[in-house]
Amino acid sequence: MSMKVNETVDAKGLACPMPIVKTKKAIESIHAGEVLEVQATDRGSLADLQGWAKTTGHEYVGSKEKSDVLYHYVRKADPEETKAVEPFPNEENNEQLKAVQNQDDVTILDVREPAEFAFSHIPGAVSVPLGELEEKMNELDASKNIHVVCRTGNRSSMAAQMLKDKGFDKVVNVNPGMSEWDGPTESIE
């Protein structure tokens, strides 16, 4: 799979601590919520990047391997997401989404970053990252019930509000979303 990312770090051939040193530097240069791809050949980089992400609060999205190169995806922590946002009035939990997810009149709109979507999403979900929603909104069918999902319910809440403001009247925010989703998922290979 080729993944749309905001920045790439080439740490191939480098031993620890360099992959993390370079990652740390690169993540300072991107915006909150954006995704970094780290290419490394050091096998130790997998556990170390996960550990580093955990201590720094960044989201370790996932990794894949192709011809001996590890590709890691890290999403920069977004302080906005941990703030309590005004909840979108029309909200449902994961179980409620499960009950209707296969109905014909339901669109599941996943507003996470492409890398997050690629590693794991609900089968049939449509991917439109929050940052692109404004321009791609007209591609959505306003006659459907749009269930907006993200990782924890914050980005989706913002997206749901945007849609509502633009006249979509059948919008539901899913809370919490993918971080606690235990139903079937798909990934893009």
Partner 1 sequence: MGIQAIQAKTLAKKVMNQENFFILDVRNEEQFKDWKVEGKNVEIMNKPYFELLDGVESIAEEIPTDKEVIVVCAKEGSSQFVADQLAEEIGGEFFYLEGGMKTWSEHLEPVKVGDLDGGGELYQFVRIGKGCLSYAVISDGEAAIVDPVRLTDAYTSFFEEKNVQLKHAIDTHLHADHVSGGRTLAEMFDAVYWLPSADATEVTFSYQPLEGETTINVGETNIDIQALYSPGHTIGSTSLIVDNKYLLTGDILFVDSIGRPDLAGKAEDWVGDLRDTLYNRYVDLDEQLIVLPAHFSKKEELDENGRVMAPLKELYARNHGLNIEEEETFRKTVTENLPPQPNSYETIRHTNMGATFPSEEEQTEMEIGPNRCAISS
Where along the sequence are the contacts to partner 1 (CB under 8 A)? 15-18, 20-21, 24, 43-44, 47-48, 51-52, 55
Cβ neighbors of 29 (< 8 A, separation 6 or more) are 7
Catalytic residue among 1, 15, 16, 32: 16
For residue 16, indicate whether it is catalytic. yes
Q: Which is nearer to partner 1, 4 or 54 (CB)?
A: 54
Q: Which is nearer to partner 1, 69 or 188 (CB)?
A: 69
Return the ∠ at Cα 54 (arms to 181 and 37), rounded to 5°.
85
* Cis peptide leading into residue 129 (ω within 30°): no
Rounded least distance, CB 51 to partner 1, Å = 4
What is the SS3 assignment for 109? strand
Closest contact distance (angstroms) between CB of 26 and partner 1 is 13
- C-beta closer to partner 1: residue 9 or 159: 9
Shortest Cβ 182–partner 1 spacing (Å): 24
Report the residue count for the chain: 189
State which residue, 16 or 32, has the beta carbon closest to partner 1.
Answer: 16
Q: Residue 94 has which token pair? A: 């994961």
Asked if residue 65 lies in contact with residue 147, where contact means CB atoms within 8 angstroms, the answer is no
- The least CB distance from residue 183 to partner 1, in Å, is 29
Q: Which residues are catalytic?
A: 16
